[in-house]
Structure 1
Amino acid sequence: MAASLFWLTAGWLVVALLATGFLLTDLYSRALDTTLSETLDFHVESLTGFLLEARDPRDPTIALADPRFDRPRSGWYWIIRGDSGALVNLSTSVVGIDLPQLSGALDAQGRRTGVLTDAFGTQLRVIERSVTLDGKTYRIEVSGNLTEILGLVEDFRGQTFIVLGAVGAMLAIMSVIVARFAMRPIDKLSAAIESVREGDSTEITGQYPTEIAPLAEEVNELLRSNAQIIERARNQVGNLAHGLKTPIAVLRNEAASKKGALADVVQAETEKMSNMVSTYLERARLAARTSIVGKKADSTMIMLRLTRVMRKIHPDVTIAFQRPDASLPWFRGDEADLEEMAGNLLDNACKWSKGQVGVRLSSERTPKGTQLLIRIDDNGPGLSDDDARKVLRRGVRLDEKTPGTGLGLDIVKELVDVYGGSLELKRSALGGLLVELRLPTARLGGIVRPAAA
């Protein structure tokens, strides 16, 4: 947000400063041009007065005091022409220079203005006035150096943009400082929320400005409400479990003590009911547990513990655990959930292997961010692509002779979906099945991990 505010402010600042620079330059140019025109008007009126006073257009006393009219090629010239355009009198600066004449009709006051270029490429602002003396008409022309004015305008434009650029840089620096200062409480709140999400704290703490404090309190209230809802859900799940399991157990026991087709049907159906109740109660428990914000678990320690347990349960299987480095991120979720997922997968690998199982932990960059990657492979019979797709379906078992309900992998898939992870079954380099489990990660915790067993 701070970057967006900065670039938005910088964009408007650049536009405003550019517009200001061009506006100031235009105003300065207009002011200089107006001053030049007024100066030329003054000189025209002065020459008119001198002419009327001298009564002779060739009188050498007719002159202007401005020294620029005495300097050759200065761009400041005055000329008195006859009605036919012949030169009658002129300034020292115009001697030897053939100046072009204005064209166009005179206005009601006998005047006309325009811009001409002399033989040296100098642009001239020219004002001409018609004067009648003793029945003869004379034209008085006075020109000023417009190129000088344009040069002054260009210099002013360059200096203006330098100054405005410096002002813009200072304003940009100030906007960065203001944006950072203004965003500091929001960054602090964001860090506090991240700390809650990562499990480092249970609520948002700290002092916040008046505008943000209500938001922090609302988030804390939401966290407390969420915890209360989850606690009530757990209690209801427990009550429901006790309320359903006892009657089902009574029916099953009664049916087991009787003989006949009805007893067999009741026993079979109550067995199904018991499995379904256990399954859905377990899912409700898992959903409530994974909804808790701010939990994380050390995947390395959990996998070490599971490896030791599985070595005792399956002593004929060699489990090779490849210990990750200390930078491996933690699992963002409940420790019991990770044990349930990894434990089911590792137990299945041991059951179906021919004596060799491998376990590897690593992290992986995905579009969802950094994820924890758990690889478990074995040298068992493995699965075909079709069987791999089938076995992930709810309650599907490819080998009905092996004891179990087929719900272990189903619960793993359910947990993976709840956490937004993924579960893939592939062909292992050992010849059997490779299971890849991807789960969300949290920041690395601060506990000391034990040495590999």
Structure 2
Amino acid sequence: MLRKGSIAASLFWLSAGWLVVALVATGFLLTDLYSRALDTTLIQTLDFHVESLAGALLDTRDPRDPDIALADPRFERPRSGWYWIIRDDEGNLVNLSTSVVGIDLQGVGAAADALGRSTEVVRDPFGTQLRMVERNVTLAPESYRITVAGNLTEILELVDNFRGQTFVVLGAVGAMLAVMSAIVARFALRPVARLSAAVEAVREGDSAEVTGSYPTEIAPLAEQVNELLRSNAQIIERARNQVGNLAHGLKTPIAVLRNEAAAGEGELADIVATETDRMSDMVSTYLERARLAARTSAVGKKADAAAAMGRLARVMGKIHPDVAISLAAPDAGLPWFRGDEADLEEMAGNLLDNACKWSGGRVEVRLAGERGPGGRQLLIRIEDDGPGLSEQAMDKVLRRGVRLDEKTPGSGLGLDIVKELVDVYGGSLELKRSGLGGLLAELRLPAARQGRPVAAPRG
């Protein structure tokens, strides 16, 4: 099956269009050549008959001799379209074929060529098209004009039949060539399809790199993709190291400033302590974001969402023993999360922890797969029976820098980490009113096919 927009479909339709134009042009060209060949043959036949009549006239020396005739029986049959006439210089009729009886057949009005022959196409009184050839013959002391006409309508009918048969044959040939071009296109582009599948396997997390052998035209592309993956892995590793070095390098000076401010007294010491705390929070926040961005840039990772949520539910059940956490059994075809398992646990874990903190004792978790604008998505729904939030509060907590649990002890980054990770993965987070009376958090993330997780390629 040729998919719309594919290279194979484009090649097929381009070749099919060209075949139609070429075969139609070929059909008309062959018909024209066949028509010219038949007309030339007819003229040669008429020339032969003119020569035969001229020879008979020279033999008998009497243009009115009834023995002057042609052997072709068509000249004896009325309305056959085959006629011959002999006229004198003054245009008087001196002899004719039996087929001309009762017909007023005029001579050729066209000028003679270098051989003294004139030819033109006319119609007889019955509507039959005629090809007429005329030549002068001198029989001293007089000269005569010999005119022979052949049935051109028969030739045109043969041409029409030939045209119809030609287009039938060329249509069959075109259909076979179109099928062959489709087969060739699919066969020739099969390596491209294999490369596309290999790249998709990397994107889905089924493979760490593009594998397989490819033709020389696209083998460099496969190697460049693998080189890009290796380079990406190296950049991520360097970024992790630099983030760690930066964190280590900043923590010590900030700690020194905080200790010095704590040891001092006065307004300056208070300002330094306050600003040092702000600096420490900002450094922690942005270093954490940099760490998350570097971690989620890895290609070829996926995680079992059902298994991860099961572990989170058990852990949260121990942390919040007074909350009943219900995890609905997922469908057998539930997709996996396309990304790092630790990131999934961090996003879902923060949401589940918030739900447990604010619930009245009941939390429900459901997982499902759904179709989104960019393809299939993983949907995680976490809802509680707590007090919930107003519409204004839901909008507020989704803004950057606002924590959902400002009055409740937590990790410090809370919902901000979830939003940051959701943005990095191109997912979405929506807060709604839950049917249980509290808050419903709907987390949508990119989905991957079920399978064994694969590590990213090493540099």
Give the TM-score taking structure 1 as reference length. 0.88
Q: State the 1:32 CA deviation.
A: 1.2
Distance 2:280 2:61 in 1: 132
Amino acid across the alignment from 2:106: Q
Distance 1:79 1:361 in 2: 101
Asked whether 1:413 is paired with 2:419, we answer yes
Distance 2:266 2:410 in 1: 26
Q: State the 1:133 CA deviation.
A: 5.6
Report if the CA contact (8 A) 1:80-1:89 is conserved: yes
Partner of 2:457: none
Structure 1 residues 78-104: Cα deviation after superposition (integer angstroms, max 9, x where no partner): 2335667665432233345x3553674
Q: State the 1:293 CA deviation.
A: 0.8
Distance 1:204 1:243 in 2: 39
Report if the CA contact (8 A) 2:31-2:159 is conserved: yes
Amino acid across the alignment from 1:414: E
**Greater RCO between the two (CA within 8 Å, min separation 6)?**
2
* Local SS of the residue matching 1:65: coil
* Local SS of the residue matching 2:148: strand
Q: Percent of aligned positions with the same letter in both sequences?
A: 78
Partner of 2:286: 280
Q: State the 1:279 CA deviation.
A: 0.9
Asked whether 1:297 is paired with 2:303, we answer yes
Distance 1:144 1:15 in 2: 36
2:106 to 77, 81, 101: 101
Structure 1 residues 309-335: Cα deviation after superposition (integer angstroms, max 9, x where no partner): 222323333333222211121111111
Amino acid across the alignment from 1:67: P
Report if the CA contact (8 A) 1:396-1:406 is conserved: no
Structure 1 stretch 397-406 or stretch 233-242: which is displaced more?
Answer: 397-406
Asked whether 1:249 is paired with 2:255, we answer yes
Asked whether 1:323 is paired with 2:329, we answer yes
Partner of 2:178: 172
Report if the CA contact (8 A) 1:395-1:406 is conserved: no
RMSD of the alignment, in Å? 2.8
Amino acid across the alignment from 1:101: Q
Distance 2:357 2:375 in 1: 33
Amino acid across the alignment from 1:73: R
Report if the CA contact (8 A) 2:46-2:148 is conserved: yes
Partner of 2:375: 369
Distance 1:392 1:357 in 2: 21
Structure 1: gaps spanning 5 or more residues: 448-453
Report if the CA contact (8 A) 1:394-1:407 is conserved: no
* Local SS of the residue matching 1:360: strand
* Local SS of the residue matching 2:120: strand
Asked whether 1:6 is paired with 2:24, we answer no
Structure 1 stretch 220-229 or stretch 206-215: which is displaced more?
Answer: 206-215
Partner of 1:76: 82
Report if the CA contact (8 A) 1:296-1:442 is conserved: yes
Work out the number of aligned pairs and report it: 446
1:396 to 393, 396, 402: 402
Q: State the 1:63 CA deviation.
A: 1.0
Amino acid across the alignment from 2:277: E
Report if the CA contact (8 A) 2:108-2:119 is conserved: no
Partner of 2:386: 380
Distance 2:14 2:171 in 1: 17
Structure 2: gaps spanning 5 or more residues: 1-6, 454-459
Mapping 1:435-446, distance limit 5 Å:
435-445=441-451
Give the TM-score taking structure 2 as reference length. 0.87
Q: State the 1:381 CA deviation.
A: 3.5
* Closer, same or farther: CA 398–287 of 1 in aligned 2, 3 Å: closer
